[in-house]
C-alpha cells in the first residue's frame, strides 16, 4: 500500500503518457514511460567520445504476496542533435508538442522492431524521427534516433 501511494506522488515531469498503476487483492502493478538523461559512446576522436542523450525507458513493477518482478527497458535514445533538429524543423514549438513527439517514438518501439534496421517514425505535427535499431548495454534492441526530418 505504501509503494502505491509513494509512486503516485512521484513528479509527473519526465513521464510520457499516463501512469498505469493498479492495486488490488492480487498485488500492485505499475507501468510508465519516462525520460532519463543518458550518454552514448560514439567513438569520435576529434570531439568527444560520448554524446549526451535523452533516453526513453519503460518501467514496470509487479508485486504480489509471493514475488516481486520488474524491469526497466531502454526503448529509445535521442541525441541532443536530434532534439535540436526537432526544435528547428518541427511545425510546432514548445515543450508539450516535443514531449508528444517523444511519446510517439516510445510507443512505436514494438512496431519498429518488426521492420528493417533503419526506421522513420512519423509524428502528428508533421515530420519524422529517423534512426537505426541498435543493441543497448544489456543487449536488448533499442531505437537510436539520429535526426529529425521536417515535412518533405
pLDDT surpasses 80 at 65: yes
**pLDDT value for 44:** 60
**Rounded mean pLDDT of 101-130?**
94
DSSP letter at 8 equals H
Q: HEC states along 52-116?
A: EEEEEEEEEEEECCCCEEEEEEEEEEEEHHHHHHHHHHCCCCCHHHHHHHHHHHHHCHHHHHCCC
Per-residue pLDDT tens over the stretch 49-60: 788 899 999 999
Indicate the average pLDDT of the chain.
Answer: 91
pTM above 0.85, yes or no: yes
pLDDT surpasses 70 at 46: no
**Rounded mean pLDDT of 71-100?**
92
pLDDT surpasses 80 at 102: yes
Report the share of the chain in percent with pLDDT over 70.
95
**pLDDT value for 115:** 87
* CA–CA gap between residue 115 and residue 152 (Å, rounded): 22
**Rounded mean pLDDT of 114-127?**
92
Output the nine-digit C-alpha cell for 70. 520488474
**pLDDT value for 50:** 80
Amino acid at each position: 500500500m505504501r509503494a502505491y501511494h509513494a509512486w503516485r506522488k512521484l513528479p509527473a515531469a519526465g513521464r510520457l503518457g499516463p501512469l498505469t498503476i493498479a492495486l488490488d487483492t492480487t498485488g500492485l502493478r505499475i507501468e510508465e514511460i519516462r525520460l532519463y538523461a543518458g550518454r552514448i559512446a560514439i567513438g569520435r576522436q576529434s570531439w568527444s567520445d560520448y554524446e549526451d542523450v535523452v533516453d526513453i525507458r519503460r518501467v514496470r513493477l509487479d508485486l504480489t504476496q509471493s514475488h516481486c518482478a520488474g524491469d526497466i527497458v531502454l526503448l529509445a535514445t535521442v541525441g541532443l542533435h536530434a532534439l535540436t533538429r526537432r526544435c528547428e524543423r518541427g511545425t510546432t514549438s514548445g515543450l508539450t508538442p516535443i514531449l508528444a513527439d517523444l511519446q510517439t517514438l516510445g510507443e512505436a518501439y514494438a512496431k519498429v522492431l518488426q521492420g528493417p534496421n533503419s526506421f522513420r517514425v512519423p509524428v502528428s505535427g508533421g515530420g519524422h524521427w529517423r534512426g537505426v535499431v541498435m543493441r543497448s548495454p544489456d543487449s536488448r534492441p533499442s531505437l537510436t534516433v539520429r535526426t529529425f526530418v521536417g515535412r518533405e
